[in-house]
Amino acid sequence: MKKARVLVVDDENIIAWTLQEKLIKEGFEVRTVENGESAINSIKEDMPDLAFVDVFLPDIGGIQVLKEIISLNEEIPVIMVTGSGSVDTAVTAMKLGAYDYINKPFNLAEVAIIAKKAIESKRVSREVSWRLEKEKKTHSIGNIIGESKEIKGVLDMIQKIVQSDATTVLIEGESGTGKDLVGRAIHYTSRRSARPFMDINCTALPDTLVESELFGYEKGAFTDAKAKKVGLFELADGGSVLLDEIGDMPIATQTKLLKFIENKRFKRVGGASDIEVDVRIIAATNKNLKEEIKSGKFREDLYYRLKVIPIFIPPLRVRTGDILILANYFINKFNQEFRKDVKGLSSKAEKAILSYQWPGNVRELKNVIERAIILESKDKILIEHLPIEVVEGAPFKEEERQQQSNFTLPENGVPLEEVEKNLLIQALKKANGNQSKAAKLLSLSRYALRYRLKKIGYLKIDSTDSEIIQSV
Ligand SMILES: Nc1ncnc2c1ncn2[C@@H]1O[C@H](COP(=O)(O)OP(=O)(O)O)[C@@H](O)[C@H]1O
Ligand SMILES: [Mg+2]
């Protein structure tokens, strides 16, 4: 590792020399100057990692040198060296942004510790800002790809939201449409970006845990509460919280959430005192909340409170203009990731992805392209590199359609949807719930079957892409 460089500014030779000896022994590279002017020149020439500055210097005072260093590079920690009886100067220096101060005569062991701490804290703060920059980059609005009017509408809405600092946002859209992506982009483009972003998936947690995760609890609030726990809202103070799958939030927690949104304060579970925090709530759902309200599972007042600013991300199948743009974006991305040089899609492959319904939306498209890039290394993505359900697109093959034609319509007619539902359920029963077998019975791809099951509400895919099958 490169040695950390220290600048020592002191006109008393004996002090400068003692400091220098000790710091060199501790592994630092040291440069010493005797007055303020040389100190400033030296810093301009060669930024040190740390500076020791005596407050009494023959020309410019140490406080002035401190100000200059901070204006040149506020990241350099400055440790002031003060004589006894200059407490006021030390306080002034700290207020101006000095990292610390040491009193003469000083303890050399202590000096070494302070120097190391200063360097370490600078390294940590650099790392934090580097990480934040990276987070901002990976979650910026620029990563939301699409040219359709629908996506442009979403982007416009995000711009408006990030300008108004405090508003609550509701993001609606099917699984895989980009709700997480949009939620993060809102946080990382807003003024809150330097503060935490937290997210919680209400489906993934048992009902009893959602409330204590969000609001925290006091020691002894319930049997297992052996110690106090700080909740997400407190941890995210100043930042944003994404409440994913809010449709699955237990009713009691919804009530507490509504109160919190209105008063900006809450009590920990089992707590007596109010805690005030400032967070932006971003709620996301793939459920139709209006339906949930009708069936009594979601509070109507909370819905309208969240919906002050709504963002609806339409499914990919209604914005077909985005399909090829996204596909090429992912080709590029995975080419880089897997060091490949795939040139694009063949015209057949292009046609297939354009006519497919994408029930899993952008997430599914991304996975399909990732797989194709793994299978193909340099030329174009061919139809063979695509999963069967994408290629099949149309569910029936011609010969099978012929066989179906001996179906007779009942005398009084029947709604087609009912016939379909009936047959889907029959097939699943006959196949003992095995989806591939049921699909075969209906000459459907497994994917097409799943799509249909989803449409009639027998199959729900949650945000982690695991499925919840309703009993048939
Ligand atoms: N418009 C888009 N541009 C680029 N990537 C997208 C877009 N929409 C979704 N994605 C990607 O698709 C995947 C699923 O998106 P996600 O935000 O997790 O969806 P959701 O939360 O709605 O289920 C993620 O990898 C995301 O980055
Ligand atoms: Mg999600």
Quote the mean pLDDT of the chain.
88
b/e burial code for range 17-53 (CB count within 10 A of at least 16 → b): ebbbebbeebebebbbbbbbebbbebbeeeebbbbbb
pLDDT tops 80 at residue 74: yes
Residue 106 has pLDDT above 60, yes or no: yes
Q: Please, which pLDDT band fits residue 298 given cuts at 50, 70 and 90?
A: very high
Would you mind telling me the total number of residues written for the chain in this entry? 472
pLDDT in tens, 5-48: 999 999 888 889 999 999 999 999 999 999 999 999 999 998 89
The domains found in the chain, sorted by start residue, are 5-133 (3.40.50.2300), 139-314 (3.40.50.300), 317-392 (1.10.8.60), 414-469 (1.10.10.60)
Mutate to test the pocket of ligand 1, among 179, 199, 282, 362 (most ligand atoms within 8 A of CB): 362
pLDDT reported for residue 376: 78
Neighbour count for residue 176 (Cβ, 10 Å): 24
CA–centroid distance, residue 332 to ligand 1 (Å): 16
Reduced 3-state DSSP string for the chain: CCCCEEEEECCCHHHHHHHHHHHHHCCCEEEEECCHHHHHHHHHHCCCCEEEEECCCCCCCHHHHHHHHHHHCCCCCEEEEECCCCHHHHHHHHHHCCCEEEECCCCHHHHHHHHHHHHHHHHHHHHHHHHHHHHHHHCCHHHCCCCCHHHHHHHHHHHHHHHCCCCCEEEECCCCCCHHHHHHHHHHHCHHHHCCEEEEECCCCCHHHHHHHHHEECCCCCCCCCCCEECHHHHCCCCEEEEECHHHCCHHHHHHHHHHHHHCEECCECCCCCEECCCEEEEEECCCHHHHHHCCCCCHHHHHHHCCEEEECCCHHHCCHHHHHHHHHHHHHHHHHCCCCCCCECHHHHHHHHHCCCCCHHHHHHHHHHHHHHHCCCCCECHHHCCHHHHHCCCCCHHHHHHHCCCCCCCCCCCHHHHHHHHHHHHHHHCCCCHHHHHHHCCCCHHHHHHHHHHCCCEEECCCCCEEECCC
Span 272-301, average pLDDT: 94
**What mean pLDDT is predicted for residues 45-72?**
91
Across 301-305, average pLDDT: 95
**pLDDT attached to residue 395:** 42
pLDDT at 286 over 60: yes
Which of 201, 363, 370, 464 has most ligand 1 atoms within 8 Å of CB, for mutation? 363
What pLDDT digit, counting tens, does each position of 190-221 carry?
Answer: 999 989 999 999 988 888 889 999 999 998 88
The structure's pTM equals 0.68
List pocket residues of ligand 1, CB cut-off 6 Å: 143-146, 173, 175-181, 326, 362-363, 366, 463
User: Could you identify the atom of ligand 1 that is nearest to the CA of residue 365?
Assistant: 12
CA of 313, nearest ligand number = 1
pLDDT one-digit tens code per residue, 423-438 = 888 888 888 788 888 8
Rounded CA-CA distance 240/182 in Å is: 13
- Per-residue pLDDT reduced to its tens digit, 146-165: 999 999 999 999 999 999 87
pLDDT tens per residue across span 388-406: 889 887 443 444 444 444 5
